[in-house]
Structure 1
Amino acid sequence: MYASTAKQILSEGITYPGERYYANNGSGEYVQLMSHYAGATMWQTCAQVCTDGCGSTQSPTHQSTTTMGNKINADIHPYIVLPMNHNSNIKIGDLGVVIDTVTDRSVYVIYAENGPSGRIGEMSVAVFNKLGLGYRNANGTFYGYNEKRFITIMFPGSGKRYGYNVYNNVPTPSELITNAIIETQNFLNTRDNMPPIQ
């Protein structure tokens, strides 16, 4: 998905009541979740790197398992993290797409991990790799991107459709991409055939 399309979709959204969090960049900026009439939940925020899961890349805060289970590998599974206190319609296993509005690159993702309450803007190593972004300095320390340049569009209920809402029922990276493409296209088709809510 192109950044221009993602920006237009985000502009069509309405405020998701009660779903506002701090951007995970220490700035004090808020990130508001939005609902789209064609069936998506979306937001725009920064990106910090998450290594949780069974992969070999490990940050100082690394945990060997995720909310989705211990078969998730941050090195190969592009996943997003949501605050543990979120109460949106996005559930573990749901699929979506992340768009970098600076580089115009995108990656299909799965929601696989919960993070600290009240903060949003964390993604797996695989997301950074697929977006062509660095995340580690020469001395081995990790870094992220504090600019709110990443639009995330998630498709509620998609995980349940493929059985990913079951603990440790983790898709292969190719299955994730295939099914996320289907969900994205279904959303775009619905959007094209429905008038915006006035």
Structure 2
Amino acid sequence: MEIKPQAAVIPKETDHLEQGKYGPVYPRTPACYGFTIIAKVKPGRADTIRGYGYTLAKALEDDPDLLAPLKLHYLRWVLFDDDTRFMYQGIFDTDFDKYTEDAIVLFTRAGVNTAFENLEGFPEDWKTNPEAFVRFVREHHCPSFIEYGEYPFVTADEIKKALRIKSAMSEMLDQLQ
């Protein structure tokens, strides 16, 4: 099976898209699913957001599977415009509705807050009010208009499995020598 790179254009208008529990379901692209939000940082909170980055990195050192339920490929956090705006970009394997619900359950169960609490307009009751959380994300979402995948439509689990097989094959070949 040969895998060829692919790109997909994402429509600007969402009226024709299937409606999920929380609004339009954007199509799965060669880069899987994802969203990008850009929001204003509450004054003086940029360093707190950076602190969340360190906290998350440490938590993942302690428990590498902490975010596994989210089926993430990548996360990217960016502070810009002199630390007055924040960009969150996540690429994952589930649709938006499932990712959102899983994130709320994960953070609530872990007793962890979110860096989003430092953004203007983020709902204080986000753990018990998924609709408010979703509304914030949808209002601040900046949809892609094209996405590219070098290995299109491949899930994070498939990538990890392929890497385990590669490692096992390498180990087996090393033992034969």
TM-score normalized by the length of structure 1: 0.30
**1 or 2, which has the higher helix percentage?**
2
TM-score for the superposition, normalised by structure 2? 0.32
Larger fraction in strand: 1
